Amino acid sequence: MKLREELLLDKRLIERHIQRGLISREDYDKHLADLADKKATSVAMKVEVSSVGVGKVSRADDGEHEG
Residue 41 to residue 35: CA distance in whole angstroms: 14
What's the pLDDT score for residue 59?
72
Q: Which residues, 6 or more positions from 23, have their beta carbon under 8 angstroms from its beta carbon?
A: 8, 9, 14, 17
Residue 21, domain member (yes or no): yes
Instruction: Say which DSSP state 40 is in.
Output: G
Residue 20, domain member (yes or no): yes
pLDDT, mean of each 10-residue run, the chain (67 residues): 80 94 95 94 90 70 61
Count: domains in the chain:
1
What's the pLDDT score for residue 58?
72
Residue 52 to residue 31: CA distance in whole angstroms: 40
Residue 55, domain member (yes or no): no
Residue 24, domain member (yes or no): yes
What's the pLDDT score for residue 18?
95
The whole model's pTM is what? Answer: 0.55
* Owning domain of residue 9: 5-35
